[in-house]
Amino acid sequence: GAGVSQTPSNKVTEKGKYVELRCDPISGHTALYWYRQSLGQGPEFLIYFQGTGAADDSGLPNDRFFAVRPEGSVSTLKIQRTERGDSAVYLCASSPSGFYNEQFFGPGTRLTVL
């Protein structure tokens, strides 16, 4: 079946602009995660959804970052007033239950802030 998909695959924006990154999880997966991966680093946890609600958003770096999952499927990560330091690969993962060893990752969106 289809895996996790993320769009766009690449996004180039200017400092100060607003961006939205989309994640389509595997059908039927109730849990969804967003991670940020900087060059030469492992993924860094941002937020975890169980269904429509954000069960844990402790990894969001500041209030410029926000994520939604209104119908419990597709999720959008929103970044306001982008800064050059936001440049990274943003990974999405979904899981049938949320347990940490059952995460299936998408290919990521590479965000570049000029």
Partner 1 sequence: GQQLNQSPQSMFIQEGEDVSMNCTSSSIFNTWLWYKQDPGEGPVLLIALYKAGELTSNGRLTAQFGITRKDSFLNISASIPSDVGIYFCAGPTDSNYQLIWGAGTKLIIKP
Which positions lie near partner 1, rule CB under 8 A?
4, 9, 31, 33, 40-45, 48, 55-56, 91, 93, 95, 98-101, 103, 105-108
In the complex, what is the shortest distance from the CB of residue 107 to partner 1, in angstroms, rounded to a whole number?
A: 5
Cβ at position 93, least distance to partner 1 in Å: 7
Nearer CB in complex with partner 1: 45/66? 45
The least CB distance from residue 39 to partner 1, in Å, is 10
CB atoms inside a 10 Å sphere around CB 24: 18
For residue 68, the tally of other CB atoms under 10 A from its CB is 15
Residue 33 or residue 65: which is nearer to partner 1 going by CB?
Answer: 33
**Closer CB to partner 1, 71 or 100, in the complex:** 100
In the complex with partner 1, the residue whose CB is nearer, 66 or 105, is 105
